[in-house]
Structure 1
Amino acid sequence: MPNPMLNPTIPSPCYVCEEAKLEANLQLMQQVQNETGVEIILALKGFSMWSTFNLVKQYLQGSTASAVWEARLGKEEIGKQVHAYSPAFKPADIDELVNLVDHISFNSLGQWQRYKQQILASKVSAGLRVNPEHQEAETELYDPSAPGSRLGIRAQDLHSADLSDIEGFHIHNLCECDSFATERTIKAFEDKFGKWLPQLKWINFGGGHLMTRSGYNVKHLIDTLKAFKARHPHLTVILEPGSAVAWETGSLVAEVVDIVDNQDKIAILDISATAHMPDVLEMPYRPEVRGAAKADEKPFTYRLGGNSCLAGDAIDLYSFDHELQVGERIIFEDMIHYTMVKTTFFNGVEHPSIGIIRKDGSFELVRKFEYEDFKNKLS
C-alpha cells in the first residue's frame, strides 16, 4: 500500500490528520464508556481540529474548554455537553459562559463566591478544581500537583467552606500517564476528599489518561473506573482526555529547503520548531521522523533545523539511509495533538496548512494560511 503521506496533492508544510486512525481512537474510547458508564469528553486544549468534529461527536459526549473561545468552539462544532475550567475567570467571561456551558469548575473558593449567585441563577452545574497533592506527571512544566501549584484547592482549605451548592469536583494531575497512575490518583483523591463525595453529583478525573497508546492497559482502566463507580454509584464520572483522542493520528509534513555544514550537516526545513512544534523546545522532547533513526545509527546524519531566525530553532540529530536532497519530504510523526493548538506566526514564516486523509484514502485540504492571517493576528 502506498504511503498516504507521500500523496503529491499534500502541500508542504502541512499537518495531516488520518481520519481512520482518529476513528479507531474514538472507538476505543466508546468501548471504555460502554463498559464503565463514564462519560468521555474532548479537551479542546489538546485537540481543536474542528473539521474532524462531525466524527468526534459521534463517539464522545461533548467537550471541555479552558476559555470562552474554546467553549464557543465546543458549543458550535460539537454541541452536546460543554464544560469549562480556568485558573481564573473575569466577570465578562462568566457573562458569556453561562450561555455556553453546562458545567463550570472554579479554581478557588474566592472565584466561586464571587460568581456564585450568577451561576446558581443560570442553572449551570458548579464544581471546584481540587488538588490531590499527588504527583504523577514526569515533566514539572506539566505537573498540576507540584508543590506551590496555582491549580486546584487543597483539602485542608475546604474543611470550613460552605459547599452546599457545589455539585462536582474536578481533578487533573496526569500527563500522558498509564492506568495505574489513574488508580493511584483515585486512591489519593478518595483519601483526601472522600468526606465530601456523598453530597456531590459528579466527578471529573480530567485528562492525561493515554488509553490509546500502544501497551496501555485498557482493561485495568475499565476495572479501576468500575470499582470507583461501585463505591460511589450516585456519581457521574467524567474523563476529558486531549492527547489520547488524537494520539498518533497524523503527522507534520515538511520539506528540505537547504543543507548547510557547520560541525554537523544541517538540513533546514520549511517548518519552525519554535513556531510549529513548540513542545520540542518546551518539554523538551525528540519527535519521531519517518524512516529516520538516532544520530549515526544510519549512514547519513543531519541536524534538522527550522526556518525562523531564532538561533535555537533546531530539532535534533537524525540519521537516514541516504543523503538528503533539497525538496525532499520529511515527515514528523504524531503531530496532531497539542501541536497545532500551540502554533504561532512568529517571524512571519509560512504556517503549515491543515489537511485530512479521509477513510477512502483521498486527501482533503481544509485550511491554507495566507498573508492576511499573519497580518490580522497583529494590528
Structure 2
Amino acid sequence: MKLNLNTFDGLHKPCYILEEARLRHNLDIIKSVADRANVEIILAFKAYALWKTFPIFREYIDATTASSLYEARLAYEKFGQKAHTYSPAYTDYEIEDIAKCSSHLTFNSFTQYANYRELAKKANPDISFGLRINPEYSEIETDLYNPCSPGTRFGVSSDKLPDVLPFDIEGFHCHCHCESGAEVFERTLKHIEDRFSRWFDQIKWINFGGGHLMTRKDYNIPLLINILNKFHERYPSLKVILEPGSAFGWQTGPLVSQVVDVVEDHGIKTAILNVSFTCHMPDCLEMPYMPAVRNAEIVDDKDKIKSCREYNVYRLGGNSCLSGDFMGYWRFPKELQVGDNIIFEDMLHYTTVKTNMFNGITHPSIAIVHVDGEFEILKKFEFEDYLNRMN
C-alpha cells in the first residue's frame, strides 16, 4: 500500500506515521556531526523508542541512553548494545539488572554512588561510573523542562565536589538544554568549564546530554563542530558524548487523525477528532504548545475567533472525557466535514513515548513509510494492550 504523503487520503483511522526518508536525513546529519567533531552521539530513548526501527539506527550510531531499567533492557535486548544509563534514583531491587544492561552508569548524587556502586560493579565489572553535575546555568525558559532551576533534584554542584574524585568515577554527565541551538551550547559550555574543568584531568569522558537540536533547519552545525573541536584541543584526553532525543525524530512524521463531529457553543465551533490531546499528544498540554496542523493557520486574533463561521476557524477537541482535552484555534481553507483528515505535524519524538490509554480510548497505530513509498503498520493497538496496562 502506498499513500499520498501530503494528504494521506485513504487513511481512515488515526496513525502516527514515520517517514523513513526523513529519519535517514536526520541520521545522516547526526553521523556527519559525530564524525567531523570526533564525538559519540547516542539516541535518548526518552524521546524516541520505536524499537522496530532500530535496524535503521544501527547503520548510523552504536549506542543509546537509558533512564530506567526498562529503557536499559530495551538498549541491551532490542538495540543490541549496553546503554549509557542515568537515573535520579536507582533502587536496590533494580540496580543489578540495570548494571547488567549498561556500559556507563551515572549517579545523581554521592549518596546514590555510595549505596549502589558495589552492587553495580559486582553485576558488571566492566561498567564505567559517572556523576551528574549541575552547572547552575540553563537558558530553558519552561520550568517543567529546566533541570538547573533553583532547588533542582538533578546533579551535584561544583561546591559540593571533593578536590579528588572517588577513584572509580570516570565521567561527568550534564544536561541543561531543550531543543537548543549551538549558540546556547557555546554559552553553557563556558559555565561548565568555569565550574568543573579543574576535575577534567581526573575523568575519561564527559556527556553533554541532550537538547542539541542539530537537525533543525536553522541550527548552526558548523558552530557546533567548531565548539566541540576546540574543546578537544583544550582537553584532548576527554571522550565527548552527546545524547539528543528530539534531533533524531525531529520532523520525521505526523499524527494523522480524522474529524468525527463538529459541535458549536457560544459561537465556538469545535471539530472533535478520533484522537486525544491528553492521551496521544500530552506534550501539547504539558509544555504547553500549539502543534502545527497541515494546511491550517493558528489563529490568535480575537475578532476572527469570535467569527468562527465566517473564517472557517475551529477549535480542535479530543475524544476523551477530560473537559480540557482541546486546543485552538486554527483557520482552515474550507469548512471541515466529518471524515476529513487533520494532520498534526512532527509527532514522532517524545509524543510516541508519552502516550497513555486514559479512558481506554483506541490508541493510534504506528506505521512507517519506507523509502520506496511502501506503507507498513508497525504496531496496531488492541483491547489486549489496554488490559495489559491495567493488570
Normalising by structure 1, we get a TM-score of 0.97
Q: Which of residues 259, 277, 281 in structure 2 aligns to 1:273?
A: 277
Please tell me whether the aligned partners of residues 9 and 363 of structure 1 are also in contact (alpha carbons under 8 angstroms). no
Please tell me whether the aligned partners of residues 119 and 126 of structure 1 are also in contact (alpha carbons under 8 angstroms). no
The aligned counterpart of 1:156 is 159
The aligned counterpart of 1:362 is 374
Is 1:326 the counterpart of 2:338? The answer is yes
Aligned partner letter, 1:214: K
Offset, 1:123: 2.0
SS at match of 1:185: helix
The aligned counterpart of 2:175 is 172
Offset, 1:3: 3.5
Please tell me whether the aligned partners of residues 132 and 145 of structure 1 are also in contact (alpha carbons under 8 angstroms). yes
The aligned counterpart of 1:133 is 136
Aligned partner letter, 1:188: H
Structure 1: distance between partners of 2:265 and 2:121: 64
Change over 3 Å in CA distance of 1:349–1:2 after alignment to 2: closer
Offset, 1:7: 4.1
Change over 3 Å in CA distance of 1:318–1:7 after alignment to 2: closer
Deviations 1:197-243 (A, max 9, x none): 00100000000000001110000000001111111111110000000
Q: Which of residues 339, 344, 349 in structure 1 aligns to 2:351?
A: 339
Offset, 1:2: 7.6
Aligned partner letter, 1:280: C
| Correspondence list, 1:213-362, <5 A | 213-263=216-266, 264-295=268-299, 296=304, 299-362=311-374
Aligned partner letter, 2:228: L
Offset, 1:66: 0.4
Deviations 1:85-143 (A, max 9, x none): 00110012211012111000000000001112233442200000110001111211000
SS at match of 1:83: strand
SS at match of 1:98: helix
5+ residue gaps, structure 2: none
Structure 1: distance between partners of 2:11 and 2:161: 54
SS at match of 2:244: coil
Please tell me whether the aligned partners of residues 72 and 82 of structure 2 are also in contact (alpha carbons under 8 angstroms). no
Please tell me whether the aligned partners of residues 5 and 253 of structure 1 are also in contact (alpha carbons under 8 angstroms). no
Please tell me whether the aligned partners of residues 367 and 375 of structure 2 are also in contact (alpha carbons under 8 angstroms). yes
The aligned counterpart of 1:124 is 127
Offset, 1:277: 0.4
Please tell me whether the aligned partners of residues 81 and 102 of structure 1 are also in contact (alpha carbons under 8 angstroms). yes
Please tell me whether the aligned partners of residues 61 and 81 of structure 1 are also in contact (alpha carbons under 8 angstroms). no
SS at match of 1:91: coil
Offset, 1:79: 2.1
| Correspondence list, 1:174-189, <5 A | 174-189=177-192
SS at match of 1:110: helix
Deviations 1:303-356 (A, max 9, x none): 000000000000211001100000110000000000010000001111110000
User: In terms of mean alpha carbon deviation, does 67-76 or 291-300 score higher?
Assistant: 291-300
Structure 1: distance between partners of 2:3 and 2:324: 35
The aligned counterpart of 2:111 is 110
User: In terms of mean alpha carbon deviation, does 247-256 or 8-17 score higher?
Assistant: 8-17
Please tell me whether the aligned partners of residues 296 and 330 of structure 2 are also in contact (alpha carbons under 8 angstroms). yes
Structure 2: distance between partners of 1:168 and 1:181: 22
Structure 2: distance between partners of 1:267 and 1:299: 14
Is 1:63 the counterpart of 2:64? The answer is yes
SS at match of 2:100: coil
Structure 1: distance between partners of 2:82 and 2:224: 23
Aligned partner letter, 2:176: N
User: In terms of mean alpha carbon deviation, does 120-129 or 149-158 score higher?
Assistant: 120-129
Aligned partner letter, 2:211: G
Normalising by structure 2, we get a TM-score of 0.94
SS at match of 1:17: strand
Structure 2: distance between partners of 1:49 and 1:250: 13
Structure 2: distance between partners of 1:71 and 1:11: 36
Aligned partner letter, 2:54: F
Structure 2: distance between partners of 1:279 and 1:302: 21
Structure 1: distance between partners of 2:240 and 2:220: 19
Please tell me whether the aligned partners of residues 11 and 353 of structure 1 are also in contact (alpha carbons under 8 angstroms). no
Offset, 1:161: 6.4
Aligned partner letter, 2:62: Q
Please tell me whether the aligned partners of residues 8 and 341 of structure 2 are also in contact (alpha carbons under 8 angstroms). no
